[in-house]
Structure 1
Amino acid sequence: MSDKKEKDFDDVTLFLGDYGPFQITLIFLLSLFIIPNGYMGVVFVFVSDTPDFHCKVNEKWNLNSSYVQDFTFTERSSSVGPDGCSRYKERLNSSQVSPSNDTEACADGWDFSKDIYTATIVSEWELVCDNAWKVPFSSSLYFVGVLTGSFVCGNLSDRIGRKPVLFLTMAMQCITALIQAASVNWGMFTMLSCLRGFGLTSCYTTSLILGSEILSPKPRMAYNLLGQSVGFGLGYALLPLFGYFIRDWRMLLVACAIPGLLVMPLWWVVPESPRWLLQKNRLKEAEAVIRKAAKMNQVSTPDIIFPSKEYERNSYTCLDLLRTSNIRIITLMGIFMWFTCILVFSGLSLNTSNLNGNKYLNCFISAVIDIAAYIMTWVMVSRMSRPIFVFSSMMFCGILLLIIQLVPDGVGRFGISAAYSIMFVFFIELMPTVVRNTGLGIFSTTGRIGSILCPYIIYLGVYNKGTPYIVFGSMSIVASVLTLFLPDTRNNKLPELISQVQPVHRSSKFGRRTGYCPMSAPKVSK
């Protein structure tokens, strides 16, 4: 950028105010993108659930229901797998068929209970016993898609813009869900799960960044915590409602896909990020966004909003996150913190879905806990520094997980949900505009690696029920301590360049504010 003294973007657009019609409309519209993400990410809980089942009895035997019960196993021995994978061998006494003590495999398939579901992928394609591995494999491939999308779309958004990636990823996850509902076999379903995951997190992250780059600090926080996080929680809470009334997995996917497609006409309403446009030297388009906002807010604009000059047009890649020691340290800390946060959040979500009792009620309670945590975060975050808040939330979660036998599971989830919601806000404020979506994409990617590894940590509970909680709790405590070395970004301006990123703390004075000074940023060579 030029070495002339330039005003910061927030200073230039100060005349727009904070909560005018433009800001309120933008918060509402972008929040509509988040609600589908809330249920699309966890719809697999109902789509792939395993109903009670038992072996089919050969129809040629012509047995009544009491004999069928004698021939089959219907109980499950543990959470690892069912034991309904065998039946008693038939024993013929003249013309009568009766069970013997010997068993055999279910040669004629299985009968699945329809007490809860009309159909799931498990009952339709008989994904039990020797084929039971296909269910978690489908889930893992979904998270592989999430991981890949986080990395690819993060970089793509910094190159072609926030708005195109936002609509592209929303369309991608909804269209693939519709095609997935027409899957003819498990392989087709699984590949489409991967593609659907590709768009999910990318849509969430891009919408968060788009709103953050347009809004001023006060409405930015309201959007991030109320619009985004609560919107996601509301979507999560809608899933058990959809699932309760729609018991067939195909129709459930269709119902989840349609609301996302309804937001596509908003292409002609939602603006591109003016910060991103300025970084691409597209001044006229950036000014057009601001003038339209001023018109909605009924405020006058200066003749020249952004002085004509040559803005920095360097191309940035993920390697720029390692360019200086400061941003390198922040990046490495962020990778571990995001990995831990999403690992623990996913682990507790998986545990909630495995609780005894009504599946729909458990899912709804989990969503309510998340929403309560998000609202509490919004109330408290303006009163505490960002590092102290994340430290408190993750330390609270870590300690409770280590003493999980003494407290309800939901209490630990409350802490990690609060940390998860503020993590996006915190690192958006830390990362500069030129690599913001790339950085968030990398953080989200490493976090999704945690999601993929999570089932294996949960599996350790087969040997010792407390082991997963010890792993989750210990990692939460370590991550919480690292947070104290990061600068406080509360009420600070968003950095535009790498040189404007706030320095990490190398002393014991944690949590202090060290806002950057854009007027003294060094000149960057082209």
Structure 2
Amino acid sequence: MLVSYFKVYVACQSMLIVLVGAVPEYHIDQEGIAASRAELAKHIHFADNFTSIVTEWYLIEQEAYKVSLASSLFFAGLLIGNITFGPLSDKLGRKPVYISGSLTNLTFAVGIAVYALLGYCVREWRYLALVSNTPGVLFLLLSFMLPESPRWLYSQGKTAEAEDVLQYIALGNGKERLNLKLKPSAGIMRKDESAPGILNLVKHPVLRWRTIVLMYIWYVCSFVYYGLTLNAGELRGNLYLNVALTGLVEVPAFPLCMFFIEKSWSGRRKTMTCFLMFAGFACIFTMFLPTNAGPFLSPTLLALCGKMMVSAAFNIVYIYTSELYPTVLRNAGLGVCSMSCRFGGILAPFVPSMKSLSASVPFVVFGISGLSAGFLTLLLPETLNKPIAESIEDLQSPKYQVLKNEEAEQTS
């Protein structure tokens, strides 16, 4: 429950700029006003239904890029955290690094809706930022209640501490104190087991091509997901309702993707392809909508459909990627893909500003990205009910090659 609620806080941080950097309706008294901010402030009038950093520092026209930059810097921070705290979790343990991480995805969607409710109730941007950030202190304090991972403790040779954690878990489950004794361990994670690293993703042709495709898919998932999420402030209609729906529309995506990826007629690859392509088509179709389209055929509705589809694809890619890499390289492969994912988040905030060219341009960019990633997914093998390679040598084994040839025949 603690790590799930923590995801709500993370969602508020990710969405902070959508309301804190929102642009209310405004008009300028005169045309041809000097470009200086002081001169502009004398002649611009914002609607007073809420405040934001835009109304505070007049971040419009030539200064509007600073709002997107603020959001982009948040995702740059995620990239730094990805590079820094991922390896630390193997050295310091899972619990200390959790303070910069999270485990669940469903409550992230709920967190977006919670943030929309906060924004509706708190219209002054400084107070909204304060309310959204304060829970972080509470979660920091509550995190000390979490036990360390007993598996990690045992892998580091800390057998006694692992036994204590297992006793703590047993007592918490209502069991009597156990006579538990683990075999002494000098550390399960020996050097010979952890030797394969990132370079092996490049050395082997199969892994090299697979990694390139997966990196692009992860990039697109993040790019389209956060792009559509941050674009909620640009959609027509009620700002707070749009933000809430952008989060809640993800909820049905979870049972949908879990249902399809376990079916033999769809599996991981086909399901991922369909979700990415549906997200792409939903975005592209917005440019063909007439200006007087009804509520059931509006850019907002299509954007929400696209968000649900890419959210499902984003959830599948975690499972699919872990099954495509041999066990000894799984962490390295997931780490590289996760890094490319952050670059998508860094670029995403700037795409909504392309509406100055045309209202449909941001959606076309997201649509083309989704379609291209969907097509590239077809180049990857299916992993449903297939044995996963344990080592790099398994990729060259006859059994693996037979499975690969069968997959190629099914594709053709």
Q: TM-score range by the shorter chain?
A: 0.7 to 0.9
- CA shift for structure 1 position 347: 2.6
Q: CA deviation at 1:142?
A: 2.4
Question: Relative to total residues, which structure has the larger helix share, 1 or 2?
Answer: 2
Shift of 1:272: 2.6
Question: What's the counterpart of residue 128 of structure 1?
Answer: 60
1:331 aligns with 2:264: no
Match for 2:283 among 401, 404, 413? 401
Tell me if 1:86 matches 2:43: no
- Correspondence for 1:17: none
Contact 1:374–1:418, Cα closer than 8 Å, also in 2: yes
Q: Matches of residues 155-170 of structure 1 in structure 2 within 5 Å?
A: 155-167=87-99, 169=100
- Inter-CA distance 326–166: structure 2 relative to 1 (3 Å threshold): farther
How far does residue 113 in structure 1 lie from its aligned partner after superposition? 2.9
- Kindly indicate whether residue 111 of structure 2 is the aligned counterpart of residue 235 of structure 1: yes
Secondary structure of 2:105 counterpart: helix
Could you tell me how far 1:47 is from its partner in structure 2?
Answer: 0.7
Matched, 1:244 2:112: no
Give the corresponding residue for 1:32. Answer: 5
Q: Which runs of 5+ in 1 are unaligned?
A: 1-27, 56-71, 74-82, 88-104, 170-202, 209-227, 513-526
Matched, 1:391 2:273: yes
Shift of the 31–430 alpha-carbon distance from structure 1 to 2, 3 Å rule, reads farther
Letter in 1 for 2:308: F
1:453 equivalent in structure 2:
347
Contact (CA 8 Å) 1:150, 1:442: kept in 2 or not? no
Which of 334, 338, 361 is the aligned partner of 1:444? 338
Task: Identify which of 279, 293, 316 aligns with 2:169.
Answer: 293
3-state SS, counterpart of residue 153 of structure 1: helix
The alpha-carbon distance between structure 1 residues 30 and 137, as it changes in their structure 2 partners (threshold 3 A), is closer
Q: Is the 8 A contact 2:354 2:362 kept in 1?
A: yes
| Pair 1:280–1:321, CA change in 2 (3 A) | farther
How much does 1:282 deviate?
Answer: 3.3
Superposition pairs for residues 266-281 of structure 1, below 5 Å?
266-281=142-157
**Partner AA of 1:159 in structure 2:** K
Give the whole-Å Cα distance in 2 for the aligned partners of 1:323 and 1:136.
38
Matched, 1:153 2:85: yes
Q: CA deviation at 1:311?
A: 2.4
Quick check: 1:154–1:442 contact (8 Å CA) kept in 2? Answer: no
Does residue 363 in structure 1 map to residue 296 in structure 2? no
What is the aligned partner in structure 2 of residue 44 from structure 1? 17
CA apart distance, 1:310: 5.2
Q: Deviations over 1:439-490 (max 9, x none)?
A: 4443232122123333555555554555544443343233234435245267
Question: Quick check: 320-329 or 138-147, which moved more?
Answer: 320-329
Asked whether 1:109 is paired with 2:42, we answer yes
Contact 1:147 1:449 in 2 (8 A): yes
Is 1:418 the equivalent of 2:280? no
After TM superposition, the structure 1 = structure 2 runs for residues 131-210 of structure 1, keeping only pairs within 5 Å, are: 131-167=63-99, 169=100, 203=101, 207-208=102-103
- Structure 1 residues 438 and 253, CA gap change in structure 2 (3 angstroms): farther
Residue 130 and residue 454 in structure 1: after superposition, are their counterparts in 2 closer, same or farther (change >3 A)?
closer
Distance 1:285 1:501, change over 3 A: farther
User: 1:31 Cα deviation (Å)?
Assistant: 0.7
Q: Deviations over 1:43-69 (max 9, x none)?
A: 1111112233445xxxxxxxxxxxxxx
Q: 1:366, 1:455 → 2: CA distance?
A: 15
1:116 counterpart letter in structure 2 = N
Counterpart position of 1:478: 372
Report the structure number with the largest CA radius of gyration: 1
Q: How big is the shift at 1:231?
A: 0.5
Q: How far, CA to CA, are the matches of 1:510 and 1:258 in structure 2?
A: 53
Name the aligned partner's letter for residue 312 of structure 1.
M
Tell me what 2:190 maps to.
313
Q: CA deviation at 1:136?
A: 2.3
Match in the other structure for 1:196: none
Q: Separation in 2 of the partners of 1:491 and 1:48? A: 47
CA contact (8 A) 2:156 2:187 kept: no
Identical-pair percentage: 32
Residues 41 and 510 of structure 1: CA distance in aligned 2, closer, same or farther (over 3 Å): farther
Distance 1:113 1:475 in 2: 35
What is the root-mean-square deviation of aligned Cα atoms in Å? 3.8
Q: TM-score, normalised by structure 2?
A: 0.78
Deviation at 1:510, TM superposition (A): 7.4
**Cα contact 1:287–1:306 (8 A) shared by 2:** no
What's the offset of the Cα at 1:423?
2.4
Task: Give 1:325 shift.
Answer: 5.1
User: Counterpart in 2 of 1:194?
Assistant: none
Partner of 1:353: 233
**Is residue 397–residue 473 contact of structure 1 (8 Å, CA) maintained in 2?**
yes
Contact 1:38 1:233 in 2 (8 A): yes
Change (3 A) 1:306 1:438: farther
- Residue range with higher mean Cα deviation, 444-453 or 471-480: 471-480
Q: After superposition, give the CA deviation of every residue in 1:197-234 in whole Å (9 maximum; x if it has no partner).
A: xxxxxx2xxx32xxxxxxxxxxxxxxxxxxx2221011
1:376 aligned residue: 256
Partner of 1:488: 383
Equivalents in 2 of 1:497, 1:284: separation in Å? Answer: 31
- State TM-score, norm by structure 1: 0.62
CA distance in 1, matches of 2:44, 2:360: 35
Flag structure 2 segments of 5+ consecutive residues without an equivalent. Answer: 290-296
Aligned counterparts of 1:34 and 1:322: Cα–Cα separation in 2: 34
